[in-house]
Amino acid sequence: MPISPHFSSIFIKNWEINFTQCLPNGNLKHTDLCNILQLTAAAHSEVGGISFSDMQEFDQAWVLSRMRVEIIDLPKWKDTVTVRTWINTLENSRSVRALELYVNGQKMVGCETFWAVFNTKNRRPEALALPYEHFELYPEMIATKKSISKINFNNDSELVAEKSVAISDIDIVNHVNNVKYLEWCLDLVDSTMILNQKIKSFEMNFLKELSLNDKVDIYENKSADSLIFNINKNEKTCFALKLNLI
């Protein structure tokens, strides 16, 4: 679709938290937090003319490569949250986008994401086919205290689960949706740790896509201040998650 007359390089969108998005304690689930952040990014790309529908004319889509989320506090049921987003860098096939989430003017979450343009037919990265020069870039406006990084994991990890990819895990790009990886891992974490808000930040690396019926192994490595998960297919890592604990 054409660029919206209401387009702005800094985009703001409100969301109301409903009960299906919440944990038993009324806090927003970490997975639904990520969904809200990514849906806001998608809404910005839509008004800016580089949405999934626009890109599909060239068999392209944005795919998430890395994501870092820093949590000051979690929104709660019935909260209206305001998400503010802008692009730090955008060049050829890669883009870094920042997001912040507020409740009543108070910042609750900061997020940095790294995206790549992906050809949905040959499953390879490539340069964005659409114009994007109308997006003003804000490389100095940083939403998180630390930047996205590569997660290091070692051979001390313990096999904690095996899984077969189901149809409910697959999204419109025909691979496992990025939030599903997070869901699989959080389901293996002690529930009291999640309910007592012991996760102060988390980081995800998406390394290789997974498809319907793929069989994977999930490994966990514990330390005093973090949990690291990696998801492997045929002994090759497809995804890594680091939970930084209070």
- pLDDT tens by residue, 108-135: 999 999 999 999 999 999 999 999 999 9
pLDDT attached to residue 1: 63
Task: Give me the CATH topology for the region 150-246.
Answer: Thiol Ester Dehydrase; Chain A (3.10.129)
**What is the domain partition of the chain in residue ranges?**
1-149, 150-246
1-149: what CATH class? alpha beta
Q: Mean pLDDT across the stretch 81-93?
A: 95
Q: Quick check: do 1-149 and 150-246 share a fold?
A: yes
pLDDT at residue 65 tops 90: yes
pLDDT attached to residue 174: 93
DSSP string, the chain: -PPPTT--SSEEEEEEPPGGGB-TTSBBPHHHHHHHHHHHHHHHHHHTT-SHHHHHTTTEEEEEEEEEEEES---BTT-EEEEEEEEEEEETTEEEEEEEEEETTEEEEEEEEEEEEEETTTTEE----S--TTSPP-TT---SSS---PPP--TT-EEEEEEE--GGGB-TTSSB-HHHHHHHHHTTS-HHHHHTT-EEEEEEEE-S---TT-EEEEEEEE-SSEEEEEEEETTEEEEEEEEEE-
Q: Mean pLDDT across the stretch 197-203?
A: 97
Prediction pTM value: 0.95
